[in-house]
Amino acid sequence: MEKSFNKIMHGYQQFRKKYAQGDQSIMEYLSDYGQQPQVMVIACCDSRVDPALILQCDPGDLFVVRNVANIVPPFEQDDMHHGTSAALEFGIRFLKVKHLVLLGHSQCGGIQTLLEGKHSIKNDFISNWVSIVDEQADNKMNADDYAKLAVKKSYENCLTFPWIEEKLQQNELAIHQWYFDIKTGRIFAYSENKNEYVEL
């Protein structure tokens, strides 16, 4: 436990040196001029799937939401607390990002919970949350296939947001369906023409 805490303390020092010191401080620049990310990513909380690390980005590059199983919920106008929808609204309507990446991944614990259904460990929030992407799947589908199906469902949910639909119509936004394979570190992107995932 000490070892991993020491690691983050060391990491913090390196971050300060690289991004927040001297005349060329990226953080100072971003503070003075504000953030203008062009890319928004919806990623899973999974510790192995950090978009900024996988895509080797700097501060200011990515506007990121991470939630269990990288889910976009449908557009719902009620008094509930829609954290992911609020982030989408901020990124797309106010920061005006040009690209929205839905980043699914292999070995997803959230998807696993969904597939285990009633047999899964009792929880307060996870099962209800992942039920958003509960889809009819054929029996041969494994959790990784299902993760791709869930990305498709999230994509369809994106289209229920009127301001996302509008941006797509006006060619001001592109939505990318991606799948990250943890073991090989490869990303595959869904190709509409081929109706399959192809490596980036």
Question: Which residues here bind Zn ion, judged by CB under 5 A?
Answer: 44, 46, 108, 110
Question: Is the separation of the CB atoms in 97 and 40 below 8 Å?
Answer: yes
What is the closest distance, in whole angstroms, from the C-beta atom of residue 69 to Zn ion in the complex?
A: 5
Q: State which residue, 19 or 178, has the beta carbon closest to Zn ion.
A: 178
Query: Rounded distance, CA 197 to CA 182, Å?
Result: 15
Burial readout 152-184 (b: 16 or more C-beta within 10 A, e: otherwise):
ebbbebbeebeebeebbeeeebebbbbbbeeee
What is the closest distance, in whole angstroms, from the C-beta atom of residue 105 to Zn ion in the complex?
A: 6
DSSP character at residue 175:
E
Q: State which residue, 36 or 123, has the beta carbon closest to Zn ion.
A: 123
What is the closest distance, in whole angstroms, from the C-beta atom of residue 49 to Zn ion in the complex?
A: 7
What is the closest distance, in whole angstroms, from the C-beta atom of residue 112 to Zn ion in the complex?
A: 9
Q: State which residue, 40 or 46, has the beta carbon closest to Zn ion.
A: 46
Q: State which residue, 97 or 147, has the beta carbon closest to Zn ion.
A: 147
Q: Would you state the structure tokens that stand for residue 5, as one six-digit string? A: 């805490």
